[in-house]
Amino acid sequence: MENLSHLDLLLLNENQLKKKSISKENFSVLNLLKLIDDRESFNSDFFMYHFESTLIAFYERIKDNTRFNLYKEIIKKHLEFQISEKTIEDIKKELIKLLEQEFGSKDSQDFIIKKLI
């Protein structure tokens, strides 16, 4: 984005922020993908723990939602074994698919808005 004027409408009217906020599930997927991209900024001894605990939180969020039936089965299968580099690669592919199919590609969004707490 090169023009800050797009911010005006969002900050002027909270209804716009509410309307354009992404779901918690969408945010969790983006968060997981960012975790993988920012891997080097984590203590390498504990990155797998960070990733896996975040993945568990995401799985628990979606496990009762039939919208994500296909993905939750795949994620659950990985969580039933010790995590490995292959797990991270496979999960990354599934998350990208999920993002595109359920939430639309990130590239098409100028703003990502999340309602906090």
Q: Which of 23, 5, 7 is nearest to 62 (CA)?
A: 23
CA distance 54 to 79: 11
Q: 85-98 and 47-62 are packed helices; what angle lies between their axes, rounded to 10 degrees?
A: 40
Q: Segment near other proteins (CB under 8 A), from 9-17, 66-74, 93-101?
A: 9-17
Minimum CB separation of residue 115 from other proteins in Å reads 6
Instruction: State the Cα–Cα distance between residues 101 and 2, nearest whole angstrom.
Output: 28
Query: Given the rule CB under 8 A, which of 7-15, 66-74, 96-104 is the region that contacts other proteins?
Result: 7-15
Backbone angles phi, psi at 65, to 5 degrees: -105, 115
Binding to other proteins (CB under 8 A) within 78-107 occurs at: 79-83
**Chain contacts with other proteins (rule: CB under 8 A):** 1-2, 4, 6-8, 10-12, 14, 17-18, 21, 41-43, 45-46, 48-50, 52-53, 56, 60, 76, 79-83, 110-117
